[in-house]
Structure 1
C-alpha cells in the first residue's frame, strides 16, 4: 500500500504523536509498503516549506509558527488545495492523519475532495487541555471541531476505552480501537543501572515521572511526594513549566529530556513510576515503565484505566485525590514484597503488546477504510446516475 501520514507534530520535536508515527513508518517500510509524511517545518521562515527525508521516507514540510508559550510545538497550516496537490502527487491508497486539529483537518478535507480513504487517529485530548491552560470556555467549541473533523474522516481510531467513550459522548461516529505498542527490547529490566541509582537516590527508593512538564500533565501534583521519607523523586522531561516545577519540588532530581537508551535506563532504574495527568488518551510511558518491571501509580481516569490493573501491576487513585497518590506510593516503596510482585505482573502484562502486533492491526484498519470508502463512493456514483 501507499500511505500518506499527516502529523500535526513531527521530528525534531519528540512527543507521543511523533513516536507513534515513527514506529508506524518503520513497520510500513519493513513490510514493503510505501509512505510519505506531511508535517510542520521547523525552519524560522514562515513562507517557504521544505522537503527532507527520515530513514528514506520523504517528509513534505509545511510552513509553521511556534505555539505561544510553548515554542517546541509548531502550528502548521496550508490551503486545502495545496494539500490536495501534495497528496495527488504521491497518489496514496490511504491518508493517515495523526492527532488532527489544524493541518490534519486540512488533510481530511483534501482526502475527501480527492475521494481518498482517510483514517483519523485520535491521540490528544485538546479540549481537555484547553481547561488546563485557562481556556475552559473554548472546550465546547473545540469538541465541535473534533466532532466535525473525525466524522468527515472514513473512520477514527482511538487508543483506549475511555477515549472511545468520550468520542461517542461528543457525537463522533465510526470509532475503532487502535492501541500503542511498546519496545520490550529497549525497555527492559535488564537496563537497571545501580550506579545511577546510588548517585541519584543515595540508597533511597526512587519514584519517577517521565513526560512533558506542562499544565495538562499535572506534574505539580507530585508536590505531595517531594518530601516523602526514604524516597527520592525524579522528574524526566522538559516543557514550559520546567522552572516553576523546580521551585515547587526543591528536593526532586530533574534529569531533563531523555530519549532512546538513556530514557530506558532511567525508567528501568526506578522503583515506582507515577503519572498524575488526567487527560491521557493512552499514556505510553506507563507501558514503558511496565516493560521495565516498574509498578505504576496513576490517576484513575483516561488511558491509564486500560493499562493499570489496580492491586496487581500498580495502583489507580481517584482524580484530584493527591493524598491517595501519596498513600499509594508510600504503600509500594515501603513494602518490598508487594512492590516486587507488582513489578513481575507489570512486566508480564505488556510482553505481547509489540509494535509489530499493533501496526499489523493498523494496516487492517487501512484496508477497512479503503473498503468503506469504495462502498461509499460507489453508492454516491449510483445515486448520481439514478438522478
Structure 2
C-alpha cells in the first residue's frame, strides 16, 4: 500500500488505509505500507505490518502535508523486495505516480484510488493556471494504472471525462460502532453539549481540515444565527484567520476517537461547504450519528445526502441558500429529528468490513487484468 499521506498526519486518505490494513490482517493477507515521513516520527508498523517512511518535504503553506522525495528506482527496490501480488495506491499524485511507474516496470498490477481532487485546489492556493496541467497529470497516472477506483458518481464522471479507462466505483465505509446516535447521551456527549450550548442553543457542527479547499469561511453566514452555536472541529493553516471570520464560533481543535464520536453525535446539524470533495467521510460519520446534513451540491456530497430526506444540498456559491437550508432544520425540531433518523437508516449498513471485502475483489480484478496484459505482450514478443 503506497499512501500519499499517512500517520502521524490524519485525514481521509490515512483513515481509509488504516481500515483496509485492519481488514487484510483479519483475512490473513500480508501488507507493507510506503508513505512520506512526517514532521514527527510515524509508527514503524501498523496492524503488525511494516511501514517504510520515505524522506519528505513540507508543502509550502501547509507544513503538516508532506511530499515524498526519492526516485522511481527507490520505490521499485522496495516493491521488488516485498514482491506483492498487487500494489494499492492511495490518492496517487507524487509518491503514488512513482509507485505506478515502478510497479509497471516490475509487471505488478496497480489499484489506484482517486481520493483527492488536487487540481481544484490550484485556484484556492493562488495558482489557477496550474489546473489544466494538474488534470493532465491525473489523466496520465490513472490511465497508467491497472484498475482505478472512485468514491462517487462525480469523481467517476471526472475520470471518465478525462478518458481514463478501467474505472470502477468503490465507496467508503463508516465505523458504525463508534459513530452512533447513542453517543449523544454518553457522559462525554452530554459534557460536549454543555460546553457548546450552556443555554440550550442548537449546535451546528463542522468537522475537517481548516484549509482553503474546505471553504470554512462560508460558514460566516451562520455565525450569528439566533439561538445557535457554531462548533468547528479540526486543525489546519487557516485556523487563526477563521477565528476572525467566525467570531462567535467555538474552535474545538483536532478531535479523534471517542471524543470525535461524542462531539459529532452532540451536533444538532452538520454542515460542509467544501466544493472539492470526492467523497466526504465526515458526512457519513454525521449521518451514522443520527445528525442531518446541509452540504454543497457538488462532488461526493451529492451521492451521500438525499436532499429533503436526510438533509439538504445547496447550489455551489449560494450562501443565502446555505443559510436558508440550515434555518429550515435548526428551528424545526420535528423535521430535524426525522431527517436525522433517515440519515442513520441510510448509512448503518455501510460498514468497513463490507466495503473492504469489495476492495479485495477489485484487487483480484487487477491481478487478472494485468495477467491478460502480460500475456498479450508475451505473445507479441514471440510473434516477432
| Alignment partners' CA distance in 2, 1:385 and 1:362 | 35
Count of aligned positions: 379
Give the gaps of 5 or more residues in structure 1.
none
Task: Tell me which residue corresponds to 2:141.
Answer: 149
1:261-285, Cα deviation, whole Å (9 max, x unpaired): 1000000000000000000000000
Aligned-residue offset at 1:51: 8.3
| Alignment partners' CA distance in 1, 2:311 and 2:40 | 44
CA contact (8 A) 1:41 1:76 kept: yes
Residue 300 to residue 199, structure 1, CA distance change in 2 (3 Å): same
Aligned-residue offset at 1:372: 0.3
2:61 equivalent among 65, 69, 90: 69
Is 1:178 aligned with 2:167? Answer: no
Is 1:31 aligned with 2:27? Answer: yes
SS in 2 for 1:89: helix
Aligned-residue offset at 1:37: 0.1
2:360 equivalent among 360, 363, 367: 363
1:96-135, Cα deviation, whole Å (9 max, x unpaired): 0000011000000000000000000000000011111111
Is 1:114 aligned with 2:111? Answer: no
Aligned-residue offset at 1:167: 1.1
TM-score by length of 1: 0.96
Task: Tell me which residue corresponds to 2:347.
Answer: 350
Is 1:286 aligned with 2:283? Answer: yes
CA contact (8 A) 1:51 1:60 kept: no
Aligned-residue offset at 1:194: 2.5
| Alignment partners' CA distance in 2, 1:216 and 1:42 | 21
Aligned-residue offset at 1:78: 1.7
Is 1:158 aligned with 2:154? Answer: no
Task: Tell me which residue corresponds to 2:327.
Answer: 330
CA contact (8 A) 2:7 2:43 kept: no
SS in 1 for 2:132: helix
What's the Cα RMSD here? 1.2
1:271-312, Cα deviation, whole Å (9 max, x unpaired): 000000000000000000000000000000000000000000
Is 1:20 aligned with 2:16? Answer: yes
TM-score by length of 2: 0.97
CA contact (8 A) 2:38 2:64 kept: no
Alignment of 1:1-387 (within 5 A): 5-42=1-38, 52-192=44-184, 193-202=189-198, 203-387=200-384
| Alignment partners' CA distance in 2, 1:214 and 1:51 | 26
Give the gaps of 5 or more residues in structure 2.
none
| Alignment partners' CA distance in 2, 1:120 and 1:77 | 20
